Structure 1
Amino acid sequence: MAKQIEGVYEKVYECAQKEFLAKGFQEASLRTIAQEAGTSTGSIYTRFHNKEGLFHAIVSPVVEEIKNWFIDVQESFHQKDADYQKQNMPEYSGMEAEEFVAYIYDHYDVFKLLLECSGGTEFSDFLNQLVEIEMKYTVKYMEATGDDAICKGNISPEFLHIVTSAYFSGIFEIVRHDMRREDGMLYAKQLREFYYAGFAKIYNW
């Protein structure tokens, strides 16, 4: 087996991320990536199998980490008793959202890839996956606290899904608009306050 040159795959990752950001997944060229990284397309195929395998290697660690964190945070809160959940939901949700936005900025280029360059990959529905997790635990919260907004017809599951999706889409505008970290953190805080007013009415906070 040929000995791998030290640092070559770090360079491949760097050049691949640059190429994907510039052209998107579908238009990105493995030949260009290989040339920029000083290696061959054959070596990239050997290590990553294909272009999607290379894209997966770049974004998957961040996707898995944020999804696992998100589920852990939700599950931890759901383990609390109903009174605690009802009294602390606004504050807990705010802290969770702030940490979420900080994580986005810590891995900004990967989220740029996910949101703007992932068409044609398994990650093209990344945003919807987060929405589905949030929806699952929102329903759990409503059941735990005896919230009957859906039963009474104050809201519908479809409305809840649309609002949740709109909120997450709004958060990710910080990436789409290339906001600086301090501006993005402020924007996200303002967005939370805007949505909080609506949810407070729905849930009678």
Structure 2
Amino acid sequence: MSKPDHSIDQRLLDSAKEEFLANGFEKASLKIICENAGITTGALYKRYTGKEELFNAVVAETLSALNDFVAAKTQVDEKFLSDNELIAAWDMGEPVMMGWYRFLYAQKDGFFLLIRCSAGTRYADFQHDWVDNMTGKTYNYFLEAYKRGLAHTEISRKEMHILLTAFWATIYEPFIHGYTWDEIVAHCKIVCNLFNWNRVLGFEELG
């Protein structure tokens, strides 16, 4: 009795990632994916119902990492933060921003697939959906600061979504344009000078 070839699974995912990165989901060829993985289409369909489920499997690890990273940053209820901690939550200086860029660069292939190659999948609106998700928690932080009299600019949730869309575009774009790590480091310095959330939200310095 022959033993199952467990190497197929990783070869298939590696081949699929390569094809999706090169051509995007819609133009990607299952035939080419199978040929490059050295498997039959039958072997593929034993594992996945079709191209979209295969794409979902390729980006699953990145999505899990993204969700875990955000959860770790937002696990504390804003109501239990001190005034100083609530203001510090808006610090997007270089150390904080570099943390984001290091994390995303480690996930760059999966991140690129989500933001650039996912048309035709459930993640086609990933950029908008990601910002909308971030807006929910971020706006709660703002409302708490405003309620305490720490922030003095009136901002609606819709306005916050627009501001975060602009902010996240500066994070997406280096990956879309294939920046090297050195280019990202230089870009980060520029972005930190571009966005000053304390000024935008009208925070006052605490002693």
TM-score between both structures, scaled by the size of structure 2: 0.85
Aligned-pair distance for 1:128? 2.3
Deviations 1:105-157 (A, max 9, x none): 112111111111100111122222321232112222123223589x9874333
1:68 corresponding residue in structure 2: 68
Matched, 1:162 2:162: yes
> What stretches of structure 1 of length at least 5 have no aligned partner?
none
Report the aligned-residue RMSD: 2.7
- TM-score, normalization by structure 1: 0.86
What is the correspondence of 1:188-199 to structure 2 with a 5 Å cutoff? 188-196=188-196, 199=198
Residues 92/195 of structure 1: CA separation in 2 closer, same or farther (3 Å cut): closer
Supply the AA of the counterpart residue of 1:30: L
In terms of mean alpha carbon deviation, does 45-54 or 127-136 score higher? 127-136
**How many residues were matched structurally?**
203
Per the alignment, do residues 27 and 77 of structure 1 end up closer, same or farther by CA in structure 2, a change over 3 Å counting? same
Q: Residues of 2 paired with 1:48 and 1:203: CA distance?
A: 51
Report how far residue 19 of structure 1 moved. 0.8
Where do 4+ consecutive residues of structure 1 move more than 6 Å?
A: none
How many Å apart are 1:79 and its aligned residue?
6.0
Is contact 1:135–1:164 with CA below 8 Å preserved after alignment? yes
Superposition deviation, residue 187 in structure 1:
0.9
Q: Deviations over 1:1-47 (max 9, x none)?
A: 97432422221111111111111101111111111111011111111
State the shift of 1:80 in Å.
4.3
| 1:35 is the counterpart of 2:47 | no
Would you say the 8 A contact 2:12–2:33 is kept in 1? yes
How many angstroms apart in 2 are the aligned matches of 1:203 and 1:143? 13
**Contact 1:102-1:185 within 8 A present in 2 as well:** no
How many angstroms does 1:176 deviate by? Answer: 1.1
Residues 97 and 117 of structure 1: CA distance in aligned 2, closer, same or farther (over 3 Å): same
Counterpart contact for 2:135–2:164, Cα < 8 Å = yes
Could you list the runs of 5+ residues in structure 2 that have no partner in the other structure? none
SS for the counterpart of 2:160 is helix
1:105 is aligned to 2:105: yes
Are the aligned partners of 1:78 and 1:85 in contact in 2 as well (CA < 8 Å)?
no
Contact 2:26 2:119 survives alignment (8 Å): yes
Q: 1:139 & 1:90 partners in 2: Cα distance?
A: 11
Q: Which has the higher contact order (CA 8 A, sep 6+)?
A: 2
Give aligned-pair identity as a percent: 24
